Homo-oligomer: A and B are copies of this chain.
Amino acid sequence: MKVLITSGGTTEPIDSVRGISNFATGGLGKLTAECFLEDGHEVILLAGDKAVLPQASQRLTIITIMGTENLYEEMKRCVPLVDVVVHSMAVSDYRPLYMTGLENFPSVLTERDLLNFHPHHAKKISSKSNYQIMLLEKTPKIISFIKTWKPHVLLFGFKLLAGVTEQELIDVAKEKLISTQADFIIANDLEDIKNNQHKAFIVSTDSIERLHTKSEIADKILSVSKTYYS
């Protein structure tokens, strides 16, 4: 099999010296890549610039990813080449449109003022204002494009929430199965992730299974993929 794995977090630049980063370490993506490699498969790993990486291998291609636009382009190019996609990267939901001193707005402003504001382009934002406002726009949900690029690819998506009940987690995963056309959603709660402990549910339209560690999740993704293509 050929598998595409995304791992770590994206970074959306604010200016030339700072950006908004997602904190994911890439640990699960690394483990999953290692499972597929040890079992003899080919892996393309799209990894955030701070993600932990597997050891080099002739069957492993690593591509460093910065923002969502970069990720979109690389996935569009790579998805048609693979049999399985494991999209475990923490992708920015929002990207900055601008950041500017609050004093650049009138004291009474409208939504239109905010949306139509075009600040003077600064390579590095000055630190003179007491307050800054940032306007952020939603990024495209890249996972929703994957099946349009390759309808029969086996797709594992992820959903991370924080401090919710198990039932909420499962309900949200089931919604995401439909909205993304993923075959499986691995749903996890940030509060249940500590080092190798990594409680999660792997949810499909007709099954829910509880998993407990990163290794268990990685093994499960490999075994489901092998069954699917056997």
Contacts and interface: CB of A to CB of B under 8 A. Distances in A.
Interface stretch (A28-36, A146-154, A160-168, A208-216): A160-168
- Classify chain A: how many residues form its interface, as a range: 35 or more
A58 to B, nearest CB: 28
A111 interface: yes
Nearest to A23: B17
A160 B21 contact: no
A192 interface: no
Interface of A: 9, 11, 14-24, 50, 90, 92-94, 99, 102, 105, 107-111, 114-115, 123-125, 127, 129-138, 160-163, 190
> Which 9 A-B residue pairs are closest in the complex by CB-CB distance?
A93-B127, A123-B162, A134-B134, A124-B162, A132-B136, A21-B21, A123-B163, A18-B22, A107-B111
Given A18-B23, A133-B134, 13 more contacts: A17-B24, A18-B22, A18-B92, A19-B21, A93-B127, A99-B134, A102-B135, A114-B133, A123-B190, A130-B138, A131-B137, A132-B135, A133-B136
